[in-house]
Structure 1
Amino acid sequence: MKIYDVEGFPNPARVRIALAEKGAQDAVEFVAIDVMQGEHRSEAFRQKNPDAVVPCLELEDGTCISQCNAITEYIDASFEGPSLTGTTAKERAVISMMNLRAENGLLNAVGTYFHHATPGLGPDLETDQCAVWGNRQKATAEQTMAYLDSVLASSDYLAGESFSVADITAFAGLAFADFAKIEVPETLTHLTEWRARVAARPSVSG
């Protein structure tokens, strides 16, 4: 398998953490994509991923899978180890729900703010910016942080007592928030404590 990505970017980080949680890093060849030079928008890359974003997983038979949730679901089903997406119908539904809340409300909201209301990746890549929309999404990200803090007040992890893809997504979202200079309020103590625990996991700290 090959994964086309940029090391350190938020969505590629989600896939790399999932692989590490399953102990499957050595089963994948990572191929660096030069986003700053627009390689992700090239015709050659679009043939693999019409979304023109990273990461993208390419299987041995040539099948290409994009979208982080699809990639992590494939990884979770393909390798041994504790499930990241749930094993029962209820677990899968709750994890999926919380993952989407973390993705849409935090990670994607921060991304929208970064790409629309800041210089982002520079004028060559950031086209059709809308600062009003970007700043509105910054507020959404801040509201989501408060919501996640409330969830963690009574739960070890975002979807229950086990670490899941929802935690991976939220952790990546907070890292992106740091990069975009969106602060996590000091009052969100549950979120801060959870973040420290996740950061200490071998899949993240290693």
Structure 2
Amino acid sequence: MKVYDFKGFPNPARVRIAIAEKGLTSRVEFVQVDLPGGAHRTPEFLAKNPSGAVPVLELDDGTTISECTAITEYLDHLDGEPTLTGRTGKERAIIHMMQRRTEVELMDALGTYFHHATPGLGEKIELYQNREWGERSLKRGIAGLHYLNQVLSGQPYLAGDSFSMVDITAFAGLSLADFLKIEVPETLTNLKDWRARVGARPSVAAA
């Protein structure tokens, strides 16, 4: 398998953590895509993912899978523990619900702020920016931090009692917040404690 990504960016980190959690690192070849240089907009890359985003998983038969959730679903069904996407219908439903909320209210919100209210990837890549929308998205992202803190008030992980892909997504979102110099309020103690526990996992260090 190949994974096309750009190491250090939040979405590629999500897939790298999932790969490490599943013990699949030795089975994956990572191919760096020069995002600042615009390599994700070439015809060759767009043939793999028309949205021009990383990461993209390419299977040995040439099949390409994009979107972090879809890639994690595939990896989770290969073999091994832990299960990142749930075992029962109820677990899977809750994980996917929280995954969507975490993407929209944290990852996407902060990503929009990055691309619209900061220099982003540079003027050659950021061809359209709406600063007002970016600033509004920042407020949504901060509200998302408060929401996740509330969820963690009654359970150890964001989708319940077990570590899942939701925790991977939220951890990557907080890493993006760090990059953007957005501080997690000191009052969000549940979120801070959770982050310390997740950050201690070997998969996170490997990614």
User: TM above 0.5, one fold?
Assistant: yes
TM range (shorter): over 0.9
1:189 matched residue in structure 2: 189
CA contact (8 A) 1:57 1:66 kept: yes
For 1:48, what is the secondary structure of its paired residue?
Answer: coil
Once the 2 structures are TM-superposed, how far is the Cα of residue 180 of structure 1 from its aligned partner?
Answer: 1.2
Once the 2 structures are TM-superposed, how far is the Cα of residue 121 of structure 1 from its aligned partner?
Answer: 1.2
For 2:65, what is the secondary structure of its paired residue?
Answer: strand
For 2:47, what is the secondary structure of its paired residue?
Answer: helix
Unaligned runs of 5+ in 1: none
RMSD, aligned CA: 0.7
1:75 matched residue in structure 2: 75
2:40 matched residue in structure 1: 40
Moved over 3 A (4+): none
1:198 matched residue in structure 2: 198
Once the 2 structures are TM-superposed, how far is the Cα of residue 80 of structure 1 from its aligned partner?
Answer: 1.2
1:58 and 2:54 are equivalent in the alignment: no
Aligned length: 206
**How far, CA to CA, are the matches of 1:120 and 1:79 in structure 2?**
38
**How far, CA to CA, are the matches of 1:52 and 1:170 in structure 2?**
23
1:7 matched residue in structure 2: 7
Once the 2 structures are TM-superposed, how far is the Cα of residue 81 of structure 1 from its aligned partner?
Answer: 1.1
TM-score normalised to the size of structure 1? Answer: 0.98
**How far, CA to CA, are the matches of 1:103 and 1:26 in structure 2?**
28
Unaligned runs of 5+ in 2: none
**How far, CA to CA, are the matches of 1:151 and 1:48 in structure 2?**
37
**How far, CA to CA, are the matches of 2:105 and 2:20 in structure 1?**
25
**How far, CA to CA, are the matches of 2:89 and 2:203 in structure 1?**
26
**How far, CA to CA, are the matches of 2:58 and 2:81 in structure 1?**
22
TM-score normalised to the size of structure 2? Answer: 0.98
For 1:78, what is the secondary structure of its paired residue?
Answer: coil
CA contact (8 A) 1:116 1:130 kept: yes
Q: Deviations over 1:4-59 (max 9, x none)?
A: 00111100000000011111111111011111110000001001111101100100
**How far, CA to CA, are the matches of 1:48 and 1:147 in structure 2?**
35
Q: Deviations over 1:97-145 (max 9, x none)?
A: 1111111110111000000001111111111100111111100100010
For 2:192, what is the secondary structure of its paired residue?
Answer: helix
CA contact (8 A) 1:7 1:13 kept: yes
